[in-house]
């Protein structure tokens, strides 16, 4: 049976909307046209608030991943949470112009910011979304006021071999059961929101295109990044050694604040909120 044939579009859509039902009442889904396809952005918060763009993780991540942050951040910002093109969600890739390179990703975000009418944004990303956000900040530093990264992957260190081995069965033949087993292992048995978990399971077999991957940003480039950066790492992350990542990042980013969140795991962020996380983000973005 092919991966595509295992995907239940109706089940995914229902799970997505159930999670999004917990967002602020003013939330609206907006479609932004870009050369690389139609991008769905879930928007909430004051119309005159400074724009904040949020990028989710790559495997099963959607804009719904920010459900635990949306209301808190929307008190002061106009929140724009993005479904990545070619990944689970409601964005639709262009048939004639796929995203293939880091330059494509940064061009897509240029067009997305133009489409929402934002000359500059605060920018945040989790996991793979953090990798994209960091590359974009290096590409267009004048368009990013502040940058926060939640347990980003591929930015300052590689993956642990044990993490990749555990993930391999889920990646090769995704199924709801394999997704659940992997998430239970990575999060160490921490109780997960059942609606969020159902959405991750429903994303199994989503007909995604191959994600853009690439090297870590160059050390020399990171040393030129002259903007405030907040790097929050999951203390129990099984993707990488959080404390080693914090040390490396602090030595490369000139204006970085780094912290390791005890008890948090990579895949429990950001939907399972460690104590103080939303306050840290709000304080950082409000300066």
Over the stretch 226-277, which tens digit does the pLDDT of each residue have?
999 999 999 999 999 999 999 999 999 999 999 999 989 999 888 777 778 9
- Pull the structure tokens for residue 276: 């103080």
For residue 37, what are the β-bridge partners? 34, 93
Question: In a 10 Å sphere around its CB, with 0-12 CB exposed, 13-18 middle and 19+ buried, how is residue 38 labelled?
Answer: middle
Number of helical (H) and strand (E) elements in the chain, helices listed first:
11, 9
Token pair of 1 as six digits: 């049976």
Residues 6+ apart with CB under 8 A from 255: 225, 226, 227, 228, 229
For the stretch 10-46, pLDDT in tens is 999 999 999 999 999 999 999 999 999 999 999 999 9
The residues pairing with 42 across neighbouring beta strands, listed in sequence order, are: 29, 81
Rounded Cα distance, 181 and 279, in Å: 31
Asked if residues 82 and 56 have their Cβ atoms less than 8 Å apart, the reply is yes
Q: How many CA atoms does the CB half-sphere of 233 hold within 13 Å?
A: 25
């Amino acid at each position: 049976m092919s991966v595509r044939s295992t995907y239940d579009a109706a089940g995914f859509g229902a799970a997505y909307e159930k999670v999004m039902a917990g967002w602020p009442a003013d939330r609206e889904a907006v479609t932004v046209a870009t050369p690389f396809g139609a991008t769905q952005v879930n928007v909430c918060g004051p119309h005159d608030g400074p724009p904040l763009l949020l990028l989710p993780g790559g495997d099963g991540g959607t804009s719904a991943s920010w459900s635990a942050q949306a209301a808190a951040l929307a008190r002061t910002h106009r929140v724009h949470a993005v479904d990545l093109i070619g990944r689970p969600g409601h964005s639709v890739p262009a048939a004639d112009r796929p995203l293939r390179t880091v330059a494509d990703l940064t061009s897509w975000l240029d067009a997305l910011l133009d489409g929402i009418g934002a000359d500059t944004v605060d920018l945040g990303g989790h996991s793979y979304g953090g990798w994209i956000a960091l590359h974009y900040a290096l590409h267009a530093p004048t368009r990013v006021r502040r940058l926060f990264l939640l347990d980003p992957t591929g930015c300052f260190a590689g993956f642990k071999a044990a993490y990749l081995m555990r993930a391999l069965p889920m990646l090769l033949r995704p199924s709801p059961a394999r997704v659940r087993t992997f998430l239970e292992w990575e999060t160490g048995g921490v109780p997960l929101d059942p609606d969020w978990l159902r959405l991750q399971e429903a994303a199994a077999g989503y007909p995604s295109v191959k994600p853009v991957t690439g090297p870590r940003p160059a050390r020399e480039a990171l040393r030129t990044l002259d903007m405030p950066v907040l790097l929050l790492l999951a203390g129990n992350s099984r993707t990488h050694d959080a404390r080693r990542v914090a040390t490396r990042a602090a030595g490369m980013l000139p204006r970085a604040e780094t912290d390791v969140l005890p008890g948090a795991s990579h895949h429990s962020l950001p939907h399972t909120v460690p104590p103080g996380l939303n306050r840290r983000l709000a304080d950082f973005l409000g300066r």
